[in-house]
Copies of this chain bind each other. A is one copy, B any other.
Amino acid sequence: MSTYRFCVSVMPKPGILDPQGRALEGSLPHLGVDSVHEVRVGRRVELSVDGASEGAARAVVERLADELFANPLIESWSVEAMARPALEAAR
């Protein structure tokens, strides 16, 4: 049994309105920035999973991403293994 750390990226699906990204982009001129475009804002979830193998742990994460972290109607997700626990536990 080992512990694996993953991060899940949850982003608004292409074509779905992203009000946050839009408002952010709209405020950039106030910072004197005009070279930035196509801003999209999503969520990032980092988590540690105990499992017999990385594959088994990843399967748990994928299930959670699909059922819990993302709203499949408007968001898409992807999972990445992280090198090591990036952050110390902080409950």
Residues of A within 8 A of B (CB): 5, 7, 9-12, 14-16, 18, 21-22, 24-25, 27-28, 31, 33, 35-51, 57, 60-61, 63-64, 67-69, 85-91
Known: A11-B87, A87-B14. A39 touches B47 (CB 8 A): yes
Known: A31-B67, A68-B27, A68-B31. A91 touches B43 (CB 8 A): no
Q: Is the pair A40, B90 in contact by a Cβ cutoff of 8 Å? A: yes
Q: Chain B residues with Cβ under 8 A from A28's Cβ? A: 64
Rounded to whole angstroms, the CA-CA distance of A51 and B36 in the bound complex is: 9
Total copies of the chain: 2
> Which of B11, B12, B46, B57 sits near A40, CB closer than 8 Å?
B46
Q: Is the pair B47, A40 in contact by a Cβ cutoff of 8 Å? A: yes
Q: Chain B residues with Cβ under 8 A from A67's Cβ? A: 31
Q: Is the pair B22, A35 in contact by a Cβ cutoff of 8 Å? A: no
A62 to chain B, nearest CB (A): 12
